Amino acid sequence: MKLLKIQKRFLNSSCNVKNVISEASEFCEPYENIPGPKPLPLLGNSWRFLPLIGNFQIQHIDKVSINLYKKYGKIVKMQGLLGRPDMIFLFDPDEIEKVFRKEDSMPLRPSMPSLNYYKHVLRKEFFGEQGGIIAVHGINWQKFRSKVNQIMLQPKSARLYSKVISQTAEEFVQRIKQLRNQDLEMPDGFLNEIHRWSLESLARIALDIRMGCLDANPPQDTQKLIDSINTFFINVPILELKIPFWRLFNTPTFVEYINALDCIKEICLKYIKQSMDNLDWQVEENQLSVMQKVLKRHKNVKLASILALDLFLVGVDTTSNAIASILYQLAINPEKQQILHQEIDKLLPNPNSELTLENLDQMSYLKACIKETMRLYPVVIGNGRETSIDSIIGGYHVPKGVQIIFQHYVISNQDVYFKKSNQFIPERWLLNQKNHHPFASLPFGFGKRMCLGKRFAELEIQTLLAKIIRNYKIEYHRDKLDYFIHPMYTPNGPLNLKFVNKM
């Protein structure tokens, strides 16, 4: 008890953690004592991902995480994944909050070494020192992000794009009509259709370009772009978590990954160039796309292009998988969907009523449905930071350079943090009923490195959802879908949702 109190004092003290470490070390447990699966000589813990003998599956990292929590508790050490520093899995929102609150000015998210290699070695001649945002750290990340933060994260920034976001959502609502079969169900490739909406929407926001993704016959390169982004997300965890043979030779997964990244770069650059050519330097900034704004402000073609590339890399699948998941949850929870219909129909009395930002501001149940889906099934199930100094985490001494992985999905599905956590209860997010731990569900991350596209993603999702719910009742009559990481945490299956016209 006494030991705990002393420890708490150190944790709450405002002095630099580094300075207290030597004094604190005798009061906190040593790093070696953090529980976790024991590594084998030579193979470390990497063997656990091997077929036949291992019990860790890349597509089911969610289940791996749950099992580790059940076996070892709120803090788990995963060492000996070949090619990676040690990882500490944190299943405790209090500890996660402390790590976030102590973040320095350049927080380091455990980088994707494979993307780092692509940007800084393989394609160095293109990216140069800048690299962009994703898989970039330190001063280069800070310089880059400071140039785009205000343009992307100010509350009003996304609202400037509400018109193009709304038009794209409207096109998708119309496309749903063409896609329905005679039973009013979506075809097997419905998730791909949602990716098309997401890509079109981002192209309008980031570049002010119509790619034509929602046309009956979309340009071939748009589908190639979607496929390549998918390949990127599918191959990343394989390259990061399994034995990294790609560091020694060109494995098929690595070659596929590099080809996908090259393809994303090539196709995006074509549209980026088009957007740059279209830029009217006299036009007021408010009327420009995100990339054009950056170009106009900083007069740096490379900076603007690399930003746009990063946005396409991570801003398409994330948003579309979120929409797929929300639609599915509403379909399998019809009584909650009914409440949403009532909210939206009241604000938009007929199907042609214009959806305004003021309407959206009043749709609190709609936002609650989005948050509740992201709690149950966050598209990014875990996030992380690398420690830049020695720290005390969960009562243990953790040295500099360890990767702390925040296990958001496991935490936000526990009854201690959300009562009846396995049920879809959007009401828990309504203001008068909100009483959860602020770090128990963080779908967009937190702090200086939080999601740069959060405001855009939220507005895109809210707008599309409001329009769909105003026009259709969504049903689902097939076998229940399991969630699967492939490449995001998504209902795995053909997603044959049924869209019934509303009056």
By CB under 6 A, name the binding residues for ligand HEM: 109, 133-134, 145, 202, 310-311, 314-315, 318-319, 322, 379-380, 383, 443-446, 449-453, 456-457
Closest to 489 in 3D by CA, of 390, 409, 395: 409
Give the nearest distance from C-beta 403 to ligand HEM in angstroms: 12
Q: What's the CA gap between 394 and 423, in Å, rounded? A: 29
Q: Tell me which DSSP letter residue 61 carries.
A: H
| Residue placing its CB nearer to ligand HEM in the complex, 451 or 465 | 451
Q: What is the CA radius of gyration of the chain?
A: 23
| Residue placing its CB nearer to ligand HEM in the complex, 98 or 449 | 449
- Are the CB atoms for 466 and 348 separated by under 8 Å? yes
- Are the CB atoms for 204 and 210 separated by under 8 Å? yes
Q: Is 42 buried (19+), middle (13-18) or exposed (0-12) by CB count in 10 A?
A: exposed
Give the nearest distance from C-beta 458 to ligand HEM in angstroms: 8
Give the nearest distance from C-beta 145 to ligand HEM in angstroms: 5
Give the nearest distance from C-beta 72 to ligand HEM in angstroms: 24
Give the nearest distance from C-beta 143 to ligand HEM in angstroms: 12
| Residue placing its CB nearer to ligand HEM in the complex, 6 or 112 | 112
- Positive or negative, the CA dihedral 498, 165, 321, 103 is negative
Give the nearest distance from C-beta 6 to ligand HEM in angstroms: 31
- Are the CB atoms for 192 and 226 separated by under 8 Å? yes
Helix runs in 154-289, H state only? 155-159, 162-179, 190-207, 220-241, 252-278
| Residue placing its CB nearer to ligand HEM in the complex, 27 or 424 | 424
Task: Judge whether 213 is annotated as a binding position.
Answer: no
| Residue placing its CB nearer to ligand HEM in the complex, 138 or 187 | 138
DSSP string, 387-452: -SS-EEETTEEE-TTPEEEE-HHHHHT-TTTSTTTTS--GGGGSGGG--S-TTS--TT--GGGS-T
Q: What's the CA gap between 200 and 223, in Å, rounded? A: 11
| Residue placing its CB nearer to ligand HEM in the complex, 26 or 104 | 104
Q: What's the CA gap between 110 and 404, in Å, rounded? A: 8
Residue with tokens 């830049």: 388
- Residue list, annotated binding site: 451
- The binding site for heme comprises 451
